[in-house]
């Protein structure tokens, strides 16, 4: 029985070893494996099996040694051939490098790409620590990015993550969320955008008095002025501080939460401001009236509420709403002061950026002057960025300034040439106008002189004289006087021919000429 057991174990060992040999040597045919197995089975003794194993190992060692010896001989032959025929070549025929390539240096920080997403798995605990160091605006974006982030930021201990991110971003003195508002909704009211009623994505203003972010149309649909609110709440009075209220200016623009006496320091004074109240919702006028109607219902026994009970009920509602409005005003005041301070900080940052750009531009070769710098489009655009100037942004801005400065020089040279050409044209035009005026004046003078001479001669021929109708031409022109435009001979001939004639006896074609203002010299004998 013992021999049969040992024989069975031996057969199993032989079969496993034969399988090993077949697997280790795939080139061995199945028939040879079967023959070896049959041979080994025929010698079914432990000593024989052991001897066969030792012989097999010895043969393996011999084959390995022979293979190594062949490889050494081949390498020696290759070296000899290389020394004689040339450098060692790769399989493709290219020579191998004599010196190895230096190891590749890392390119720097890891670059995140959309085409190569990060496949590393991080547990939610690690993501929680990372998200606590982010801003509420980034948490809102991450929450809508994937289901994993949504689960991490919505369930479990998400309130602590949002609280840590809010205090890290706004500081420890930032007001806590108002009553009835969790951290997620609080972050959405602070950093979100889009109307919460009509889904208008351009809306960004949050009305803290009502804890809603509405567009102007939705706000007008959900609030009522004080006169309409009085009609809605009839027959109840003294309810003004039991619902959320806010102040509007005369242009129906929202100003602040609370009544007119609670104007914050950052708000502008409005003389004609009026109150508005929330119409619907859990805190609106409709809900308050239903609550008062239910409270004023008589008991089953027919008893009604006393004045003291009504006063206590209204005081409780008023105190609760007063606490809620104080919390909302605190957040609104913080946001108002942040907006004012943010504007001043933005102006300071922009001024510092402009100053730094001007300083670096003045240090360039050639330097860019301030008056030229203000004309460049790149400088105008960078002046709108409310961020400090970095080396990277300056490296991007510098070539733009140089290129635009060259274009500006070309434009200035072209404008100077055009201005010079226009100046020459104007000078030539002015010179021609002046010459034309001189010629015109000379021509008018000549024409006037000829007309005066012509009319004078005509009057002399007619014997017309303003002093006497019978005065002759000889009386007008004595012997020692020569008429204008006539020489002495012509004058004497004219006088002799006109002697004895008066103005009525002369018929001349020039009688129709009107008289002119001629200076007449009175005869000394008249």
From first to last of its 526 residues, the chain has per-residue pLDDT tens of: 444 444 444 445 444 444 444 444 444 444 444 444 444 444 445 566 667 778 888 888 888 888 888 777 766 655 554 444 555 555 656 666 667 777 776 666 667 777 777 677 788 788 888 888 899 999 999 888 888 888 888 876 668 889 999 999 888 889 999 998 999 999 999 999 999 998 888 898 999 999 999 999 999 999 999 888 888 888 888 888 889 988 888 777 788 787 766 667 656 666 667 888 998 888 889 889 998 888 888 888 878 888 888 889 989 999 999 999 999 999 988 888 887 777 778 888 899 999 999 999 999 888 998 899 999 999 999 988 888 888 989 999 999 999 999 999 999 999 999 999 999 999 999 999 999 999 999 999 999 999 888 888 888 877 655 444 444 444 444 444 444 444 444 444 444 444 444 444 444 444 444 444 444 444 444 4
Check the CA dihedral 333-338-339-345 and report its sign: positive
Question: What is the structure's pLDDT at 10?
Answer: 45
Q: Within 13 Å of residue 297, how many CA atoms lie on the same side as its CB?
A: 8
Structure token digits, residue 353: 């950026």
Angstrom distance (rounded) from CA 198 to CA 203? 10
Angstrom distance (rounded) from CA 245 to CA 229? 11
Angstrom distance (rounded) from CA 256 to CA 243? 15
Q: CA 211: distance to chain centroid?
A: 29
Other Cβ atoms within 10 Å of 164 Cβ, number: 17
Question: What is the structure's pLDDT at 319?
Answer: 92
The SS3 call for residue 175 is coil
Residue whose token pair is 């959405």: 188
DSSP string, 87-133: S-B-TTSPBPPSSPPPPPPP-SSPPP-SSS-------HHHHHHHHHT
Question: What is the structure's pLDDT at 47?
Answer: 64
Q: How far apart are the first and last CA of the chain?
A: 196
Long-range contacts of 317-326 (CB under 8 A, 24+ apart): 317/242, 317/288, 317/291, 318/241, 318/242, 321/241, 321/242, 321/243, 321/244, 321/283, 322/241, 323/179, 324/178, 324/179, 324/180, 324/244, 324/283, 325/209, 325/244, 325/245, 325/257, 325/258
Work out the angle between the directed axes of helices 183-191 and 158-170 (0-180°, nearest 10): 40
Residues belonging to the chain: 526
DSSP string, 470-486: T--HHHHS-TT---TT-
Query: Could you tell me which of 263, 261, 222 has the C-alpha nearest to residue 244?
Result: 222
DSSP string, 254-314: EEEES-GGG--TTSPP-TT-EEEEE-SSTTSHHHHHHHHHHHTSPPTTS----HHHHHHHH
* Sheet of strand 254-257: strand arrangement: 223-225, 274-278, 245-248, 254-257
Angstrom distance (rounded) from CA 243 to CA 258? 10
Question: What is the structure's pLDDT at 429?
Answer: 93
Question: What is the structure's pLDDT at 495?
Answer: 43
Q: CA-CA distances (angstroms) from residue 12 to 7, 44, 56?
A: 9, 11, 18
Query: Could you tell me which of 263, 245, 254 has the C-alpha nearest to residue 321?
Result: 245
Angstrom distance (rounded) from CA 457 to CA 494? 10
Give 245's strand partners: 277
> If you compute the radius of gyration of the chain from its CA atoms, what whole number of angstroms results?
58
Q: CA-CA distances (angstroms) from residue 444 to 425, 450, 515?
A: 28, 10, 20
Virtual CA dihedral for 163, 165, 170, 175, nearest 10 degrees?
A: -10
Q: CA 434: distance to chain centroid?
A: 57
Question: What is the structure's pLDDT at 177?
Answer: 92
């Amino acid at each position: 029985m013992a021999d049969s057991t040992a024989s069975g174990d031996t057969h199993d060992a032989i079969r496993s070893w034969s399988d090993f040999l077949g697997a280790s040597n795939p080139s061995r045919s199945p028939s040879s494996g079967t023959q070896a197995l049959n041979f080994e089975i025929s010698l079914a003794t432990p000593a024989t099996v052991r001897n066969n194993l030792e012989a097999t190992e010895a043969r393996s060692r011999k084959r390995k040694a022979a293979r190594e010896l062949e490889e050494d001989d081949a390498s020696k032959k290759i070296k000899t051939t290389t020394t004689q025929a040339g450098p060692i070549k790769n399989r493709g025929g290219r020579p191998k490098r004599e010196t190895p390539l230096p190891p590749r240096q890392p390119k720097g920080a890891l670059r995140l790409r959309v085409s190569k997403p990060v496949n590393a798995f991080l547990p939610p605990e690690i993501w929680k620590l990372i998200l606590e160091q982010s801003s509420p605006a980034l948490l809102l974006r991450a929450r809508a990015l994937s289901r994993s982030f949504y689960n991490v930021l919505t369930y479990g201990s998400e309130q602590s993550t949002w609280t840590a991110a809010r205090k890290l971003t706004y500081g420890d003195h930032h007001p806590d969320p108002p009553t009835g508002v969790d951290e997620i909704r609080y972050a959405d009211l602070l950093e979100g955008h889009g109307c919460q009623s009509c889904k208008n994505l351009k809306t960004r203003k949050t009305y803290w008095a009502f804890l809603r972010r509405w567009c102007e149309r939705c706000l007008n649909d959900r609030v009522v002025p004080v006169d309409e609110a009085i009609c809605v709440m009839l027959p109840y009075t003294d309810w003004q501080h039991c619902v959320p209220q806010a102040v509007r200016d005369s242009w129906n623009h929202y100003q602040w939460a609370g009544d007119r006496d609670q104007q914050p320091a950052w708000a502008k004074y409005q003389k004609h401001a009026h109150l508005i109240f929330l119409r619907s919702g859990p805190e609106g006028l409709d809900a308050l009236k239903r609550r008062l109607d239910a409270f004023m219902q008589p008991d089953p026994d027919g008893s009604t509420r006393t004045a003291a009970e009504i006063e206590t009920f209204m005081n409780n509602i008023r105190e609760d709403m007063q606490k809620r409005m104080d919390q909302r005003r605190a957040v609104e005041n913080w946001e108002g002061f942040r907006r004012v301070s943010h504007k001043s900080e933005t102006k300071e940052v922009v001024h510092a950026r402009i100053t730094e750009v001007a300083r670096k531009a003045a240090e360039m070769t050639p330097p860019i002057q301030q008056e030229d710098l203000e004309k460049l489009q790149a400088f105008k655009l960078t002046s709108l960025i409310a961020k400090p100037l970095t080396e990277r942004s300056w490296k991007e801005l510098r070539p733009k300034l140089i290129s635009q400065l060259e274009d500006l020089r070309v434009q200035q040279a072209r404008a100077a040439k055009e201005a010079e050409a226009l100046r020459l044209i104007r000078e030539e035009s002015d010179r021609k106008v002046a010459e034309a005026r001189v010629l015109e004046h000379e021509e008018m003078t000549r024409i006037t002189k000829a007309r005066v001479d012509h009319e004078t001669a005509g009057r002399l021929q007619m014997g017309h004289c303003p002093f006497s109708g019978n005065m002759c031409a000889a009386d007008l022109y004595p012997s020692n006087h020569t008429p204008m435009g006539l020489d002495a001979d012509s004058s004497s001939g004219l006088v002799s021919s006109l002697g004895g004639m008066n103005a009525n006896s002369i018929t001349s074609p020039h009688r129709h000429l009107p008289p002119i203002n001629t200076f007449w010299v009175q005869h000394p004998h008249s």
